[in-house]
A and B are shown apart, each in its own frame.
Chain A
Amino acid sequence: MRALWLFAAGGALAAPLLAQDATTVAVPGEATAQGDVAVTIYQNGQSLVQDTRKLNMPAGRSKQEFPDVSAQIRAETVTLTGPGIGIVEQNFDYDLLTPAKLMEKAVGQTVTLIRTNPATGAEARVQAKVLAANGGVVLQIGNTIEVLRDDGLPVRVIFDKVPPNLRARPTLSVTLESKGGLTPTTLTYLTPGLGWTSDYVTLFDDAKQTIDVQGWVTLTNNTGTDYTKADVLLVAGNTNGGGGRRNYTTPWNGATGTIDEAGTESNDRERLGDYYLYPLAERTTIANAQQKQVSFLDVKAAPARKAYEFNNGWLATNEAASASSVLKFSTSRAGGLGDQLPAGTMRVYMRDKRGDPQFIGESRIEATPMGSAMSIRTGEAFDVKVKTIVEERTRINSSRWKTKMRYEFTNARNEAITVDLGQSGLWGDVRIPEQSQEGKRISADRVEWSVAVPANGKATLTATFDSRY
């Protein structure tokens, strides 16, 4: 829709009103200077645009301007290829045309003033030379010097032409040598401002213990430019962060804790190195300031189950707090979603008594390989609570303490449940000499118990910790 916005820029300005011959009522929105556009969008905010345009070039050396490229183009990444063309130089000019710039560049030149008499409307035309444009505009008219509009009366200032190298938008131009004629050329560049993520709509059926999952790709375009009828390819992965292995630090890699066990399966989706590719089935126009969603996944009745989790970080007395509601399912081919999931947001819905879907919570998920076991924390359970109590703390000797913990579970639901209680903060050397039920020390820092809580009932777990503090 920004069609032809560079059409008259640069050299073409010598003949103003070039487009005046065009039809008088030209409603913008149809034409674009873009050719066959292919856009590859990565998840780190970079995108690769490949634009194949047919250029009619004279033989020999010529300067070609490229309107309708991304307004945020990374000009240093531009490559132009085509049969029989050789590149002389590439220029990216971003000196913008504004009234102040226009006047500044007119210093030393002659402009036309048209003064309007406010009483009669009579116009008087006079030539003036612009001497300076600092704070105000100083003019020489004949042999006298005056300041523009010093009397506050209307004066039109008419310039002969737009100065060269001033443009309405930053402009990419390539000087090239060619044999001439209509040549298909491909312009390739990177641009920020385009990005995508995934949104998953998950409908959980508690009675059947299944989920229906729909996946949507959500594209956003902030580049300031439309991409008309583009062939869109989405790459699930981040191409940033090259430059060697990271051995010394553990970078935050977007882990969300939603993958219990990473999968090892793959399917026939197209790949690029380690990344999965998601081509859009049909060409589409990505308009500026647009958010677009396209479906890519639709799975019905995959098995899923609900669970409860509670994490206690430190041996302390806390009032009863809700356990997390967790939805567990798999992305494997057998008994799961059967696909890998690009990073995004999963929203979980459930039907109410009347059968209408209601939102019950959402979770960020990271890029998940196929075959993974997943657990999505949807929220806190109103009716399932855990109270942690330090019952006794005694000193064994000068370096060891004994802490007796009691965990009280309450369940106000009318069905029996199991709560996975995790106690972390054990620092490796904490021993558990007594416990009312066998727990699982899953790491030096953490122990986990699965506690059954009867319907509308309570359960208690006690454990004694032998620690240095």
Chain B
Amino acid sequence: MRALLALIALAVAAPVAAQNVVVSPVAETISMTVYRDPYRGENPINRNWPGGYALITETRTISIPAGESVIRFEGVSEGLFPETAIVTGLPNGVREKNRDARLLSPAGLVDAYLKRQVTLTRTDRATGKVREQSALVTSGPDGGVIMETDGGVEALRCTGLPERMRYGGLPKDLSAKPTLSVITNSNRALKATVTLSYMAGGFDWQTNYVLNAGKFADDHKIALDVFGWLTIANGGAQSFQDTNLMAVAGRPNRLGNAALPKAPLPQLVLKCWPAQRTHEVPFTLPYTEYADEDFAYEEEIQVESARLYALPTTAPPPPPAAPIAAVVAQQEELGDLKLYRVPERVDVNAKGQKQVAMIVQPKAGFRRVYKGQPVYNGWHQPMVNLNPTLVGENKKDTGLGLPLPSGKGMVFENAAMGNQLVGEITVKDRAVGDDIDWFLPATSAVRINTTLAMQTKKSRTYRLVLSNSNPYAVSAEIKFPDTLRNLPEGMRRDEGIPTWFVTVPANDSSEIIVEVPLQ
């Protein structure tokens, strides 16, 4: 590939005498800062093409000849947004930046050689004899190729004969990949260290928390081991070696990128005249593509991929012990955002997901509180299961006090059968000092039953019964977002909403009566 591009560069260099073409094939140092997909919500990272982006900064050493030159950058990410490219370090700056999307392809060659001479080669299937003939491309590549030879006018590959076109040289401006290039001027030949910085799509990251909750017990207190992975995904086809890798938490504004110019279709689709034969009735197609059947049917071979769903034959994996981090990404401030820096240079592989520890906070003080909200709607009052919730404060004195970026988490409880998963949680961005509510899946072991106890013209009275079938006491907070006649004992306002704070003993239940005025 690289050799081919170098060849193109040579071909380009020849016709435009005034411009030298310099190809910069590879970056020397790479820094990459990955930003999250702002619109992903709670969905997982799309590993095929992650929806976030990265700011990539590379340094390259380039020999610049005197005069005007075009510098082509190779080995950049395929998700490059060309309008974000910044090139610094050139002696006289950059006159213009270009991104060309016309590709070297079968159709691109026909397009470039329209009204030009090519060599048409036919091979006799019986004897192997090769006959060459020069031809002029009269029309193409859309809708077929028509050539003019000494004999007259013919359509390419409508004959059933093996035919091919040979071209005299590589056309200017056709490249193997969309290419970023800059035009610069220099008074003298020199070696410059150039910094190329650009944004590219196809990257994403999130934090994956591993939370070890110890054993659930009567006192509602949990010493939670908080461990966070910095999970970075690269969905592109370009690997980045020895990269200074960073990630940014927070929500910088990001707009949709302007549509890039569309390259012409690279495929050469040869259509012929109507080619139905007598036995093929009734006809449905006005013409056939690839009327040359020898050629056509080869093209239509389809490979169906099969997938095996192997059942696990071994025992489930052993319970995860808390990972021990040898390298932890360092956090620093970046304006109103948070920057995480992997302290060592790492490889970011093409189509790869990478994890480095970013948060290690053992024994953070949390409480286990069951939270929920009763459903009451006229006569219909179903039971509601409550969510066990890990409630904490992001403060130094509770064992945290550091920014907690959004992501997903797994909560493990050290039960009799070993460390077992009790649920997966969603984590939102939490700044230092913020309250933390991490909701585990609702459990039928602790639930609330609401009954309409009495109705008068002036009010409805509900009885809320909280039942606990656990062998340990639970602490619960039940929100009742309505206007109440009086706040009953046991209820107080939390953020303006009447809330029942209660502790239910092991295998027991508690109740409260609330009166809602009718207006």
A interface, CB within 8 angstroms of B: 1-8, 16-17, 19-20, 22, 24-30, 96-100, 102-104, 112, 116-121, 133-137, 147-150, 152-162, 166-168, 197, 199, 201, 204, 206, 216, 218, 220-222, 224, 226, 282, 284, 287-295, 306, 317, 320, 322, 325, 345, 347, 350, 352-353, 356-364, 377-385, 387, 389-393, 395, 406, 410, 412-413, 456, 458
For B280, list chain A residues within 8 Å (CB): 136
With A98-B144, A220-B260 already in contact, the answer to whether A155 and B160 are too (CB < 8 A) is: yes
Chain B, residue nearest A320 (CB)? B434
**Pair B126/A120 contact, Cβ less than 8 Å:** yes
| Closest chain B CB from A450 CB (angstroms) | 18
A412 and B432: CB pair below 8 A? yes
17 cross-chain CB contacts under 8 A: A3-B115, A8-B148, A27-B15, A99-B146, A121-B127, A155-B160, A168-B139, A290-B102, A291-B261, A317-B497, A356-B57, A360-B337, A363-B255, A377-B253, A378-B336, A379-B253, A382-B336
In the complex, per-residue mask of B88-118: 1 if CB is within 8 Å of any chain A CB, else 0 = 0000011111111110000000011111110
Q: Binding site of B, secondary structure by majority: helix, strand, loop or mixed?
A: loop
CB of B277 within 8 A of CB of A293, answer no
Contacts of A347 in B (CB 8 A): 84
Q: B276 contacts A135, CB within 8 Å?
A: yes
The answer on a CB contact under 8 Å between B155 and A147 is no
B15: nearest residue on chain A (CB-CB)? A30
Q: Does B249 contact A (CB under 8 A)?
A: yes
CB pair A290 B151 closer than 8 Å? no
Q: Which 4 A-B pairs give the minimum distances between C-beta atoms?
A: A29-B172, A154-B160, A361-B252, A136-B276
Question: Are B337 and A382 closer than 8 Å at their CB atoms?
Answer: yes
Interface pick from B266-274, B302-310, B463-471:
B266-274
**Which A residues touch B336, using CB under 8 A?**
306, 325, 360, 378-384, 413
Q: Which residues in A have their C-beta under 8 angstroms from that of B100? A: 287, 289-290
A-side contacts of B287, CB under 8 Å: 100
Complex alpha-carbon distance, A289 and B111, angstroms: 14
- In B148-195, the 8 Å CB interface with A consists of 148-155, 158-161, 168-173
> Are the C-beta atoms of B283 and A2 separated by less than 8 Å?
no
11 more contacts with CB within 8 A, not counting A28-B112, A218-B258, are: A19-B136, A29-B112, A29-B171, A97-B146, A100-B287, A102-B273, A133-B273, A150-B278, A162-B139, A379-B337, A382-B336
Q: How far is the CA of A206 from the CA of B171 in the complex (A)?
A: 50
Contacts of A104 in B (CB 8 A): 273
- At the interface, yes or no: B335 with Cβ under 8 Å from chain A? yes
Contacts of A136 in B (CB 8 A): 274-278, 280, 283
Distance, CA A293 to CA B152, complexed state (A): 46
Residue of B95, B334, B493 near A352 (CB, 8 A) is B334
Q: In the docked arrangement, what's the CA distance between A19 and B114, Å?
A: 12
- B519 (CB) vs chain A CBs: closest residue: A395
A360 touches B153 (CB 8 A): no
Which residue of chain B has the shortest Cβ distance to A395 in the bound complex? B519
Instruction: Determine whether the beta carbon of B335 is less than 8 Å from that of A134.
Output: no
Cα distance, A380 to B251, chains bound together (Å): 5
Instruction: Take A220-B260, A378-B252, A380-B251 as given contacts and tell me if A353 and B140 are in contact as well, using a CB distance cutoff of 8 Å.
Output: no
Closest to A136 in B: B276
Question: Which residues does chain A contribute within 8 Å of B277, judged by CB atoms?
Answer: 136, 147, 149-150, 152
Interface pair A99/B98, CB less than 8 Å apart = no
Q: In the complex, are the beta carbons of A16 and B136 less than 8 A apart? A: yes
Contact (Cβ within 8 A) B250 A381 = yes
**Given A27-B169, A99-B158, A359-B35, A161 and B153 contact (CB-CB distance below 8 Å):** yes
Evaluate contact between B429 and A382: CB separation under 8 angstroms.
yes
B483 proximal to A (CB < 8 A): yes
Pair B154/A156 contact, Cβ less than 8 Å: yes
User: Which B residues touch A1, using CB under 8 A?
Assistant: 112, 171-173
On whether the beta carbons of B274 and A389 are closer than 8 Å, the reply is no
Cβ distance B281 to chain A, nearest Cβ, rounded Å:
9
B115 with A290: CB separation less than 8 A: no
Distance from A400 Cβ to chain B, minimum over Cβ atoms (Å): 14
Is B86 in the interface zone, CB < 8 Å from A? yes
- Bound complex: CA A136 to CA B403 (Å): 72
> A156 contacts which of B112, B161, B403 (Cβ < 8 Å)?
B161
Q: Does B44 contact A (CB under 8 A)?
A: no
- B142 beta carbon closer than 8 Å to chain A: yes
Q: Considering the chains assembled together, what is the distance between the CA atoms of A377 and B258 in angstroms?
A: 19
CB atoms of A158 and B154 under 8 A apart = yes
- B207 located at the interface, meaning its Cβ lies under 8 Å from any Cβ of chain A in the complex: no
Q: How far is the CA of A293 from the CA of B134 in the complex (A)?
A: 41
- A26 near B83 with CB under 8 A, answer no
- Interface residue from A96, A221, A359, A385 paired with B252 (Cβ < 8 Å): A359
User: B residues within 8 Å of A by Cβ?
Assistant: 11-12, 15, 31, 33, 35, 55, 57, 82-86, 93-102, 111-117, 124-127, 129, 134, 136, 138-140, 142-144, 146, 148-155, 158-161, 168-173, 197, 199, 246, 248-255, 258-264, 271-278, 280, 283, 285-287, 291, 293, 332, 334-339, 341, 403, 429, 431-435, 483, 493, 495-497, 519
A362 near B252: Cβ-Cβ < 8 Å: yes
Chain B nearest CB from A243 CB (Å) reads 28
**Shortest distance from the beta carbon of B185 to any chain A beta carbon, whole Å:** 10
Complex Cα spacing A361 to B33, Å: 13
Q: Which of B139, B173, B273 contacts A137 (CB 8 A)?
A: B273
In the complex, are the beta carbons of B168 and A24 less than 8 A apart? yes
Take A8-B136, A28-B112, A221-B261 as given contacts and tell me if A350 and B334 are in contact as well, using a CB distance cutoff of 8 Å.
yes
CB contact between A359 and one of B55, B264, B271 (< 8 Å): that residue: B55
Query: A214: shortest Cβ distance to chain B, in Å?
Result: 8
Residue of A nearest to B55 (CB): A359
Would you call B332 and A352 a contact (CB within 8 A)?
yes
Of the candidates A17, A20, A29, A382, the one having the most CB atoms from chain B within 10 angstroms of its own CB is A382
A27-B15, A116-B161 in contact; A378/B253 too (CB < 8 A)?
yes
Q: How far is the CA of A389 from the CA of B151 in the complex (A)?
A: 87
| Cα separation A134 to B144 with both chains bound (whole Å) | 18
Cβ contacts under 8 Å, B435 to chain A? 320
Decide: B144 and A100 in contact? CB cutoff 8 A: yes
Q: Please indicate which of the listed interface residues B12, B114, B136, B171 has the most CB atoms of chain A within 10 Å of its own CB.
A: B114
> Within the assembled complex, what's the spacing in Å between the Cα atoms of A118 and B84?
59
B381 to A: closest C-beta gap in Å: 24
- The answer to whether B151 touches A379, judged by C-beta atoms less than 8 angstroms apart, is no
The smallest C-beta distance from A341 to any residue of chain B, in angstroms, reads: 16
Judging by beta carbons under 8 Å apart, are A8 and B94 in contact?
no
Bound form: Cα–Cα A282–B86 in Å: 20
B197 proximity list for chain A (CB < 8 A)? 357
Contacting residues, chain B, for A361 (C-beta < 8 A) = 252-254
Contacts of B152 in A (CB 8 A): 16, 112, 158-161
Q: B15, A282: Cβ atoms under 8 Å? A: no
Q: Which single residue of chain A is at the shortest CB-CB distance from B481?
A: A317
Instruction: Judge whether A360 and B252 touch: CB under 8 Å.
Output: yes
With both chains docked as a complex, state the minimum distance between the C-beta of A291 and any C-beta of chain B, in angstroms.
5
Contact A362 B253 (CB under 8 A): yes
* Partner of A154 from B146, B161, B283 at Cβ < 8 Å: B161
Q: How far is the CA of A249 from the CA of B22 in the complex (A)?
A: 55
Report chain A residues within 8 Å CB of B334. Answer: 350, 352, 358, 360
Residues of B within 8 Å of A295, CB to CB, are: 93-94
Chain B residues contacting A383 (CB-CB under 8 Å) are 336, 403, 431-432
The answer to whether B251 and A290 have CB atoms under 8 Å apart is: no
**From residue A380, how far is it (CB to closest CB) to chain B in Å?**
4
Asked if A162 and B148 sit within 8 Å, CB to CB, the answer is yes
Whether the Cβ atoms of B129 and A121 lie closer than 8 Å is yes
A137 / chain B contacts, CB cutoff of 8 Å: 273-275
Whether the pair B335, A216 counts as a contact (CB closer than 8 A) is no
Contact call A379/B293, Cβ cutoff below 8 A: no
Q: Which of B115, B248, B274 contacts A4 (CB 8 A)?
A: B115
Given A100, A166, A345, which contacts B273 in the complex, CB threshold below 8 Å?
A100
**Which of B84, B143, B150, B434 is A17 in contact with, Cβ under 8 Å?**
B150
Cβ–Cβ contact B96 & A98, under 8 A: no
Instruction: Give the complex CA separation of A6 and B116 in angstroms.
Output: 11
Which residue of A is nearest B119, CB measured? Answer: A24
Q: Which of A22, A24, A356, A363 contacts B253 (CB 8 A)?
A: A363
